[in-house]
Amino acid sequence: LQHNNARSRTILATNAHIAKFRWNDAVFAAVRMWLASAVADFYGRGIQALVHRWQNT
């Protein structure tokens, strides 16, 4: 769920949030619900942002 270069405060906050779930199934279900609720444009904008970032490196 985290990138290797995630900031320590981000990791701590994410781990604390994940710890609220008692089972891995609950975590997976919550992530699936979040992904399903995101509009298709959300993913398109993310992909376009990657293209822009790669061109700037």
pLDDT of residue 3: 56
51 falls within a domain = yes
16 falls within a domain = yes
Supply the range of the domain harboring residue 13: 8-55
41 falls within a domain = yes
Q: According to DSSP H, which parts of the chain are helical?
A: 8-19, 24-37, 40-55
3 falls within a domain = no
Is 46 in a helix, a strand, or coil?
A: helix
Neighbours of 11 (CB within 10 A): 13
pLDDT of residue 17: 82
32 falls within a domain = yes
pLDDT in tens, 3-56: 556 667 777 787 788 788 777 787 788 888 888 887 778 888 888 888 888 888
Domains: count for the chain: 1
1 falls within a domain = no
pLDDT of residue 13: 81
Full-model pTM: 0.38
pLDDT of residue 12: 78
